[in-house]
Amino acid sequence: MSHQSGISVSDELAKTFAEAVSGDQVRFIRVSIVNEVLEADGVENVKGNWEEDFDRVQAFLPDKTPTYIFYRLDPGAEVQASAPLPGESPSETSSAASWILLCYVPDGAKIRDKMIYASTRATLKREWGESGLREVVYGTTKEEFSLEGYRLHLKHQKAEAPLTQRERDLAEVKAAETQSASYTPQGTQAKKTYAAGVAFPLSDDAKSALEGLSKTESSGRNNYVSLAIDVKKEEIYLDKATNVSPSDLSKSVPADSPRFTFYTSGAHQDSTERPAVLFIYTCPLGSKIKERMVYSSAKAVVCSVAADEIGLRIVRKLETSDPHDLTADHISNEMGPTEPAQPLLGSKPGFKRPAAPGRRARTPNS
């Protein structure tokens, strides 16, 4: 919290402010503390445009004494040094605030003067009316208040603030989810553009393993296919393809990192139709933050490609944070007789979580 110095604005300065704001002749006003009062000790009129006049400011800056400069920008000047207020566009901000406050405090100034000018700034802004100031610019050298110095200040203001790794991850996933939501399968031969962390292409091994699940004959067919994402290679690769019994499924799914698992038990199945496939998305609570976000944003695309491009008959889609939820009884219930499922994108009710131990497993129709 800042402390105010108790120094007030003189009547003459208040009058100068009012005349400058209501007219269009004044380019800038120098304000200094004189005998414990804020006074206007220099007024310069407009000669050229705001850029041409800016370098005149340096001549009004003392070598070792702080001072304030109220500088007028031309109406409609295309200067955007700070973000607009909520609900305002840059053009609205520009027309509503045509003045900036330059606060000059040289390094060689006395400590007492530095403290007094710093604590008086709030009083000065309040007297002027903060809504009438586009921004406040601080500097310790005369060069910072040249036109070149001010442009450098504007460049820094516009520069994107550095992001933390977590913020970069969130931004990446947000863009990924947007791409995922608008993804439309185009056939295995169609050319696609993939966003990092979302619609990564499936490796040839992953596609072959999924195609194997769609065989109507059970001989030589695996019933368990696990896929994982290699973010660095920008690819969804085959983690494992094997045969797993319902009782061993919970032990086969990794418990330390996310996976996309496609599983068919062979039970309750008509041998003349494609196998009924269960799509399981597991994301353990101990997974890395970026892993959890990337897998979450990619699951819809992975399931859609498997159903619409590979041709799997996905009848259920499950999601869990604990592979131990995938009990034999629960899998048996999920793989029971059901209507053929629609692709994940646009389907209802979509993903559902396995029932907690001891509770009856729910189906979309229960």
Tell me what pLDDT residue 185 has: 43
Q: Are 154 and 109 part of one and the same domain? A: yes
| Number of domains comprising the chain | 2
Name the residue range of residue 28's domain: 8-158
Q: Are 175 and 140 part of one and the same domain? A: no
Which residue type sits at 318?
Answer: L
Q: Are 197 and 312 part of one and the same domain? A: yes
Tell me the pTM: 0.43
DSSP secondary structure, 113-137, as one string: HHHHHHHHHHHHHHHH-GGGEEEEE
Q: Evaluate whether residue 342 is within a structural domain.
A: no
Could you tell me how far CA 316 lies from the centroid of its own chain? 33
Q: Evaluate whether residue 267 is within a structural domain.
A: yes
Tell me what pLDDT residue 226 has: 96
Q: Are 146 and 14 part of one and the same domain? A: yes
Tell me which DSSP letter residue 352 carries.
B
Spatial neighbors of 231 by CB under 8 A, at least 6 apart, are 196, 197, 290, 294
Q: Are 19 and 146 part of one and the same domain? A: yes
Q: Are 134 and 49 part of one and the same domain? A: yes
Rounded Cα gap, residues 121 and 68, in angstroms: 9
Spatial neighbors of 86 by CB under 8 A, at least 6 apart, are none
Q: Evaluate whether residue 16 is within a structural domain.
A: yes
Q: Are 96 and 141 part of one and the same domain? A: yes
Radius of gyration of the chain (CA): 34
Partners of residue 103 on adjacent β-strands: 68, 138
pLDDT tens-digit map of 49-88:
999 999 999 999 999 999 999 999 988 765 544 444 444 4
DSSP secondary structure, 287-327, as one string: S-HHHHHHHHHHHHHHHHIIIIII--EEEEEEEES-GGG--
Q: What is the pLDDT along the chain (366 residues), one digit of tens a residue?
A: 344 557 889 999 999 998 998 888 999 999 999 988 999 999 999 999 999 999 999 999 999 999 999 999 988 765 544 444 444 444 344 444 489 999 999 999 998 889 899 889 988 888 887 667 888 999 999 999 999 999 988 888 776 556 666 566 556 555 554 544 444 444 433 333 333 335 678 999 999 999 988 876 666 678 999 999 998 888 899 999 999 999 999 999 999 999 999 999 765 455 557 788 999 999 988 888 778 878 887 888 898 889 888 889 998 889 888 898 898 888 888 776 544 433 333 334 444 444 454 444 444 444
Phi, psi values for residue 31, rounded to 5°: -125, 130
Q: Are 197 and 319 part of one and the same domain? A: yes
Assess whether the previous peptide bond of 162 is cis (omega < 30° from 0). no
> Which among 205, 247, 241, 239 has a CA at the least distance from the CA of 223?
241
Q: Are 183 and 327 part of one and the same domain? A: yes
Whether the Cβ atoms of residue 330 and residue 355 lie closer than 8 Å to each other: yes
> Which among 108, 87, 124 has a CA at the least distance from the CA of 10?
124
> Cα angle vertex 52, ends 46, 55, to 5°?
95
> Which among 82, 119, 118, 88 has a CA at the least distance from the CA of 100?
82
Strand order across the 67-72 sheet: 8-9, 37-45, 26-34, 67-72, 99-104, 133-139
CATH of the domain at 203: 3.40.20.10
Where are any strands of DSSP class E within 55-127? 67-72, 99-104
Structure tokens at 45: 């009129």
Last residue of a domain, one of 158, 189, 210: 158
> Which among 95, 102, 97 has a CA at the least distance from the CA of 117?
102
Count other Cβ atoms within 10 Å, centred on residue 132.
14
Whether the Cβ atoms of residue 137 and residue 20 lie closer than 8 Å to each other: no
Q: Which helix (H) or strand (E) holds 176?
A: helix 165-181
